[in-house]
Structure 1
Amino acid sequence: MSSSEVDLEKCRIPLAEITRATKNFSSDTLVGDGGFGMVYRGQLSNHWKKQLVAIKRLDPNGYQGTKEFHNEVKLVSGFNHPNIIPFVGYCDDEDEKIIVYKYATNRCLDYHLRDPDKRRCLTWEQRLKICLGAAYGLKYLHSDVGDDSRVIHRDLKSANILLDDNLEAKICDFGLSRLSPRNQQDTHVCTRAAGTRFYIDPSYMERGRLSKESDIYSFGVVMFEMSSGILAYNARHFEDKELYLIDLVRSYYDDHKLVDGLDKLIDTTIKDLIHMRSFDKFNEIAHECINFDFRKRPTVDRIIKTIDEALNIQLSGLDSAAYSEAFWKGLLPPDYQEIIERAVSPLGFASKKELYFCLSDSHILLDRGYLSFQLDMETGKKSYMLGAKELLIDWQDEPRYWEWGHTLKSRFSEVCILKSVCWLSIHGKIASVMLSPYTTYVAYLVFRTTSNSEGLSVPAKTMVRFGGIKMETENVYLKRPEASEKWQENDVFPFRRKDGWMEIKLGEFEYNEGDVGEIEMAFEEVKRLNWKHGLIVEGIELRPKTTDQYSPSVKHTYTHKQRERKMINKSTSLSSLPVLPKGCLSSVLSLTSARKVL
């Protein structure tokens, strides 16, 4: 249906409805911002079918003015395609300029790519499917919106590709879009260049020549973001030079100057599970998209065909038995469905395999965000961290002694910051049924100290108790005494983790199937009346004890490929692989190594 056939008056939403849905544009409902203004999340009333919506409120001083607002409303009101974000309505009451869209629960692609943990959860298959969906959306804009016209997006980028519950791509933000004739040869529009730096077609930027090929160029940049994990606007330093993504691509593909260039263009978070023929085919068409000569850029139909071929290569290159749903379901914990339901944010996955890697490659916040969950990468068993909000810390709610704050380096929204106390006592509990059976767990207190901390170089004791067995450790220090002559052989000191936090062992325990009860963990000061400050408590973490003592406190980490090779070296051939423990990620990867191009 074209925009001319839409009765825009029926799409008008009263300002009162929007202010109610956004709690008067409260910061609590703010989900994004940009040069155009702010985006809020809200739920409309019964009259509007209680839709969960994204409310785009234009800033009067932003780059999208009244003209762009009316242009966007006119365009999007007529769109109807599964890969274009659905238009709900608009508001222009009291000098407000607001456009309302259906809310995409998994936010924008840029949001996932800029966060290593979220990016790690986007498998290569998912990335191919997202790009395929976005390409279909682009084809609709260029070919199917009307009988005699096409829409040129003019600002296509990863921030303008949204993801729904199923990680289906939805192109959005049409404030800068332009209509152009579709049935003319070599159609283009001469206009002042607009868009986002690093994504703009050079020929459009230099000569003001806007065409559908300008969108193709921008889409090629997004494709390289997906395969490299590098956002177009984030500079990287190589050989004393500051290079952006497009510089890296051209240095490798055009100038052949970048040493080990291909390694720089593969996202390390998923590198070990990419079929290289699929990767090469994808990047080759992406490289064609960014050709300086717009006439040599591929059509959107050819892009779709090539991405589909890359997806089929990736799928067919995997061992069907090892990658079956039943196989991957067997590696998940029995209560994985409950874990999904308890997650604070929706988990995007299309298969049990994707869910497994999502749970093992990053921590998932559960239960109001006070509990962190992850499958241990070495054993496949459950790991948890109780956030500070889940702990019992003496006087933690007394503002004179402790305060709650946020640090960007914490997985939790709040940490507990010590202002001043003379007695330190930290306790935590967790139900044993939440853990993996037949496992020895180690509990750690995770914390940091400030540069001006005092009073933490005093001995304390730790305790872990479960099933009638109590393990206590004395002479435990949160901070090493400055005078080394005070150190004793049995003193226990903290280690620095690779994430920047410190951890100290509280104790360990064994949990077997059928054991019931709670695990109690504690850190307590031995000497009272010793005033202290400068401690930041993140939580208590429980991890499976491994034979090679793999731990976040160690500087290095094992990559998927290293774990894979480790298991391969244990066997003489793939056909004689030993039976490995259920949940061991190494066994999964070793089963597929022969089918994957390394």
Structure 2
Amino acid sequence: MGGASSHDEASDSLQAKDEHSNSRPQYREETSAVAKECENKLKTVEKAPEAKPQVIVHEKLADVKPIYDAKAKTVKEVKLLKEVKLPHNYESILRDADSPVDRSSVDKLYDQLNTGVFLNQKRKKYWVEKKFYSNCFMLFAKDLSITWGGDTRYWKWPSLCETGGDVSVDVAELLGVWWLEIYGKFNTKMLSPGILYEVVFVVKLKDPAYGWGVPVNVSLVLPNGYKHEHKEKLQTKPREQWIEVPVCEFITSPENVGEIQIGMNEYDGGEWKRGLVIKGISIRRKT
């Protein structure tokens, strides 16, 4: 009888295990309402599994979004600061600006520098070339030394509207001389380092223009004393339009930091000259 009793107990145990494996665990009466609610949510998710990741993702995004945005903004700003290249020596240059420059943001600063800023009472113009952020300058006629330029018998100074704007600048118009001599000076510390620059005179031949059969001499003396000089024929140049007379190209390097001298002259031919209008000297990146 002892053996039969053991057999009955084993059967009852196996039956209990089968019932346990084929049914969900039953909550005791003291099971909390929260636990039952969780079980109901679990059943809902099992019926519609696609809803589960939506709920989880939504809850996680809601929790981390402010932190994520803050980090993204910080990373973006750091990346922007790394990518932005402020112009060489621009703060020193802008001390001579004729009007205030808005520096409240990089975008506003560059908008003004790309357009150009007048310096020293419109004697110069400073702008930054967009593609390579290179400093460029225009030395207007008022910033140049012109022999007899202050004598109204030989030169006059009309005002013309500057290209791309509503600001007028003074240009020098030759009424008549036989001794032509024009010089300008500029400090290369204001130029971007390691850049190939070109220097040109910006002029116009205004009819009646004559006396230009003899070529003019154009020259540039670098800070190290090296002088580049050649002749240019103005006689064959177009009339009544702004043209460029090339002077020289040079690379800004530690050896070339200092003052350069740029010139145009002709006084050996003995011809009386008339009709040359000088806008200025352009110093810009060679493209």
State yes or no: 1:442 paired with 2:198. yes
Matched residue, 1:91: none
Shifted more, 425-434 versus 456-465: the winner is 456-465
1:427 matched to 2:183? The reply is yes
Alignment deviations for residues 217-270 of structure 1 (CA, whole Å, 9 cap, x no partner) = xxxxxxxxxxxxxxxxxxxxxxxxxxxxxxxxxxxxxxxxxxxxxxxxxxxxxx
For the residue of structure 2 that corresponds to 1:413, the secondary structure is strand
Contact conserved, 2:88 with 2:191, CA < 8 A, in 1? no
Q: Distance in 2 between matches of 1:364 and 1:399?
A: 30
Q: Deviation of residue 388 (structure 1)?
A: 0.7
Deviations 1:170-198 (A, max 9, x none): xxxxxxxxxxxxxxxxxxxxxxxxxxxxx
**Superposed counterparts of 1:19-418, under 5 Å:** 320-321=76-77, 324=80, 326-327=81-82, 330-360=84-114, 362-409=115-162, 413-418=169-174
Q: Distance in 2 between matches of 1:512 and 1:346?
A: 31
8 Å contact kept, 1:473–1:507: no
Q: Is the 1:437–1:511 contact (alpha carbons within 8 Å) kept by the matching residues of 2? A: yes
Q: Counterpart of 2:59?
A: none
What is the distance in 2 between the residues matched to 1:465 and 1:494? 28
CA distance in 1, matches of 2:234, 2:78: 45
CA contact (8 A) 1:363 1:373 kept: yes
CA offset digits 1:443-473 (Å, max 9, x no partner): 1001112232222343112111101221111
Greater than 3 Å deviation, 4+ residue runs? 319-324, 409-412, 493-496, 513-516
The match for 2:226 among 465, 469, 491 is 469
Structure 2 CA distance for partners of 1:378 and 1:501, relative to 1, 3 Å: farther
Counterpart of 1:374 in structure 2: which amino acid?
A: W
Q: CA deviation at 1:323?
A: 7.4
Structure 1 stretches lacking a partner, 5+ long = 1-315, 481-492, 547-598
**Maintained 8 Å contact 1:323/1:353:** no
CA distance in 1 between partners of 2:190 and 2:122 (Å): 16
For the pair 1:524 / 2:265, whether they are aligned, the reply is yes
2:285 paired residue number:
544
Rg larger in structure: 2
Q: 1:478 to 1:378 in 2, by over 3 A?
A: farther
- Are 2:193 and 2:252, in contact at CA under 8 Å, matched by a contact in 1? yes
Aligned to 2:275: 534
CA contact (8 A) 2:206 2:239 kept: no
Distance between the aligned counterparts of 1:494 and 1:379, measured in 2? 32
- Aligned residue identity for 2:131: E
Please report the RMSD computed on the Cα atoms of aligned residues, expressed in angstroms: 2.8
Indicate the SS of the match to 1:369: coil
Structure with bigger RCO (C-alpha 8 Å, 6+ apart)? 2
Question: Is 2:88–2:192's contact at 8 Å kept on the other side of the alignment?
Answer: no
Amino acid at match of 1:518: E
Name stretches of at least 5 consecutive residues in structure 2 with no aligned partner: 1-71
Does the CA contact (< 8 Å) of 1:461 and 1:526 recur in 2? no
| Number of residue equivalences | 211
After TM superposition, the structure 1 = structure 2 runs for residues 472-487 of structure 1, keeping only pairs within 5 Å, are 472-474=229-231, 476-480=232-236
Q: Is the 8 A contact 1:440 1:545 kept in 2?
A: yes
Rounded Cα–Cα distance in structure 2 between residues aligned with 1:415 and 1:351: 34
**AA at the equivalent of 2:125:** S
DSSP 3-state at the match of 1:426: strand
- Write out per-residue CA displacement over residues 4-37 of structure 1, whole angstroms, 9 at most, x where no aligned residue: xxxxxxxxxxxxxxxxxxxxxxxxxxxxxxxxxx
Does residue 452 in structure 1 map to residue 208 in structure 2?
Answer: yes
- Contact 1:459 1:527 (8 Å CA) reproduced: no
For the 8 Å contact 1:464–1:508, the answer to whether it is kept is no
Is residue 2:268 matched to residue 1:512?
A: no
After TM superposition, the score normalised by the length of structure 1 is: 0.33
Separation of aligned partners in 1, 2:205 and 2:107: 39
* Alpha carbons 2:178, 2:267 under 8 Å: kept: no
Deviations 1:61-94 (A, max 9, x none): xxxxxxxxxxxxxxxxxxxxxxxxxxxxxxxxxx
Shift of the 516–336 alpha-carbon distance from structure 1 to 2, 3 Å rule, reads closer
TM-superposed deviation, 1:517:
2.5
In structure 2, the CA distance between the partners of 1:444 and 1:473, relative to structure 1 (3 Å rule), is: same
- How many angstroms does 1:494 deviate by? 7.5
TM-fit CA distance, 1:342: 1.7
Residue 390 of structure 1: how far off its partner (Å): 1.0
